[in-house]
Each structure stands twice: as structure tokens, then as C-alpha cells.
Amino acid sequence: MNQPVRVIKTQHDYETAMARLSALMDMNIESGSVEEGELELLALVIESYERTKVAPVIPDPIDAILFRMDQLGLKPRDLVPMIGSISKVSEVLSRKRDLSLAMIRALHRGLDIPAEVLISTSSHGDIDINAEPVYDYLKFPLKEMQERGCFSGFSKHIANIKDHAEELFTWFTQGISGHNSHALLRAPMHQSGAREMDDYALIAWRACVLKKAQAVELRTKYTSGIITDEWLTDLARLSRFETGPLLAQEYLADKGIVLVIEYHFKKTYLDGAAMLMGETPVVALTLRHDRIDNFWFALIHELVHVRKHLTQDYAFILDNLDDKTRTSVEEQQADEGARNALIPQEIWMQSDVKITHRQDDAIRLADELRIHPAIVAGRIRYETNNWRLLSRLITGGSVRELFEKRS
């Protein structure tokens, strides 16, 4: 006699249902009978209860690979195109090397193993294995990024960063600025000049800048129009203080602008950039030339970009200030704005130091303008193209050291 099937709520209900299921399975049940319907329904009720109480068995990806190899009659050497080398195959199959995303993607396609099985014991569950990679991840400056500590917080030890390039870079850039990080990092880069920069190194540098900028807590939201000629002149006067660059960082933060110091990567030839992080302007300097005059010129140059050129459609402006072929209107305006903020043109044209190139005249002009003498010396050296002039005013404290001591 069949029994009504009820929803299982307790362990006692479960044990009773299991006993009834066992009894039904021992019976010679006819197809289409009431007992067959009870058996099927009871099995569904038990399965539903077990899903809520019993932890699912996590399939082992290596066991799945070995099983598939046995099915297809494959040898370890047949996995070399998917894993990389016979030594890597050996290490993976003996569980001495973790599967990378590139391996998982290749094994999924090559052996037709379900992606969810291959990623079941990894941290890649949120990645679509069937989608094509966003980048050629091996082109990123992985070694430089590792040396900067970009991957230091990654959850597992990585012996060879190239094997795990995709997951390392994806992890590092995850959640940048609360946006789709890939879309943000791939936004158009506006640069002028003749020298080509490495796109992958630039993306990596941009990611490092945005990670730092995102960690800065600003007390004020940036308001368009806050940057004026007078504002830039006041900023330039902070240069006369020994800690002027640090004061400038605070000065900008008070107006909702983030200043980040991030050294350039090889093949980028960068002095600085202006970019948007949401609606927040970010000025990033590389200190490629660790001189006081270069810091102040590059800083104000980027701030002129923020003032005049930076928009959501023009959100990443790169600058190699050594490139003499920079002839765009934007670059000319930024150069002129920086020169005038530091030393107004009418004052410069009437100054003695422009003619004499003497140290005491340079110091006198700097005192008059309340700026650092190195800025006057830098202007003379640039206009004369004589980089030996007024060297004593240029040499001195390191801007890098100031920021490194603070961090």
C-alpha cells in the first residue's frame, strides 16, 4: 500500500523517507503503477532535502583530466599544446602546479571537460572561460609589476608569473574605481609627439595610478572652474618650501584633485598624465627627471590640462615633456600655462637673469616671485639649451625621497 509523500523537514522525516525509498527499490514495480509514481516523487523530495543539508561533492579537475585522457587514449605528451611543456604537464598531473586560466581554457576546449569542473577548486569561478581573453596578458610588464609589489596580495604563491599572467593582472585591476576596469583601462589615450609608447606598459602604469588614486580619501568634490591663473600662481609659490611637493599634494586634495606619484615603466617615456577617475581629476607624475624644476613644471602642465582639456570624452592625456615634436594646441596651451604660472612672461622678459645667466640674479628673481630658484634656473637652461648653466641651483633635495619617506 503506497504512502503519501510529504516534504522532508527533519532528520527523522529524512530517515523515514530513505527507509521507504529502499523498500520501494526492492519491490518489483510495474511501469506506470502508483508505486512507480511514489518512487519518483520520493526520490525528488529526498534529493531536494539533501541539497540543503549535504555539502556538494567538489569534482577534482585533475581526476577529470586523467579520466578524459583514459577515455581518449591520450598520453601526457598529448597535453603539451594545452599546458605548455612536458615538465609542466607532469607537475600539473601530479598536483605540484596549479592550473592557470590559460591552461583551463585550453583543456576545456581541447578535452571538452566542463569549465565548472576545471575551475571548481580554483579562484576563477567568476571568469567566463568561453570568452576570449581581453588582453594578450604576456605583453604586460609583469616582472616590473611584480617588483613594485602589484601582486603581493594575491591569495596563492605563484612560482612563474608568466603562467598566471591573466589571473594576476585581472586580480590587480579588479574593482578599479568601481567601474568595469577593462573598459576604463582601455579608454582612448591621448598623446602627442613622435615617440611611440608601449601600450601594455601604459595600461599597467595607468592601473597602478588608479589603484593609488582610489585609496585617497578626498574631503571635497572637484568643482569645474576652481583652477584659475591666480590659483596656479599660489600653487607655484609652495615651491619655495623644502616640503613644497608634499604641500602641493595636500593643496590639490583640498580642491578634490588627486596627485599620484607612480614611476614610469620601461618604454613609456612618461613625465606625467592627467586623467579622470569617475568625475575626479587625477594628476600622475613619474618623476622621471628627479629635479625640483621638472616637478613643478610637469605638475602645473597637467593641471592646465585638467582646467582646459580634460573631459569624459578626453579622459586620459599623456605627456612626454622631452619630446620637442609636441605641437598640438592642447600641449602648447599647457606649456604656456605652466610657464606663466611659474614665471609670468612680462616679468621674465624684463628680468636681468634672462641676459646675465648669473646665479645671484636668478635668486633675486626667485625671491621676487616667491618661488624656488631651481625653477628660474630650469627656465634659463631650457631656453638656452645649455644644461650646465646654474647647476648649483638645480642640484639639491630629491623629490622622490620626499614622497618615499611619506609612504
CATH 1.10.260.40 domain position(s) in the chain: 61-118
Band the pLDDT of 65: cuts 50, 70, 90.
very high
Residue 298 above 60 pLDDT? yes
Residue 67 CB coordination number (10 Å): 13
**Highest mean pLDDT (candidates 2-6, 48-52, 289-293, 322-326):** 289-293
Residue 120 above 80 pLDDT? no
> Residue 121's pLDDT is what?
54
> Residue 162's pLDDT is what?
87
What pTM does this model have? 0.78
Distance CA 387, CA 40 (A): 89
Residue 123 above 60 pLDDT? no
Between 109 and 406, residue with greater pLDDT: 109
Band the pLDDT of 178: cuts 50, 70, 90.
low
Find the distance separating the first CA and the last CA of the chain, reported in whole Å: 79
Minimum mean pLDDT among 161-170, 306-315, 336-345: which range?
161-170
Residue 386 CB coordination number (10 Å): 11
**3-state secondary structure labels for all residues of the chain:** CCCCCCCCCCHHHHHHHHHHHHHHHHCCCCCCCHHHHHHHHHHHHHHHHHHHHCCCCCCCHHHHHHHHHHHHCCCHHHHHHHHCCHHHHHHHHCCCCCCCHHHHHHHHHHHCCCHHHHCCCCCCCCCCCCCCCCCCHHHCCHHHHHHCCCCCCCCCCCCCCCCCHHHHHHHHHCCHHHCCHHHHHCCCCEECCCCCCCHHHHHHHHHHHHHHHHCCCCCCCCCCCCCCHHHHHHHHHHHHCCCHHHHHHHHHHCCCCEEEECCCCCCCCCCEEEEEECCEEEEEECCCCCCHHHHHHHHHHHHHHHHHCCECCECEEEECCCCCCCCCHHHHHHHHHHHHHHCCHHHHHHCCHHHHCCHHHHHHHHHHHCCCHHHHHHHHHHHHCCCCCCHHHHCCCCHHHHHHHHC
Q: Region 210-214: what's the mean pLDDT?
A: 93
Class of domain 61-118: mainly alpha
Minimum mean pLDDT among 14-28, 76-90, 177-191, 322-336: which range?
177-191
Band the pLDDT of 9: cuts 50, 70, 90.
confident
Give the full edge-to-edge strand order of the sheet including 316-319: 190-191, 316-319, 272-277, 280-285, 258-261
Widest CA span of the chain, in angstroms? 115
Residue 331 above 90 pLDDT? yes
Pairing of strands 258-261, 280-285: parallel
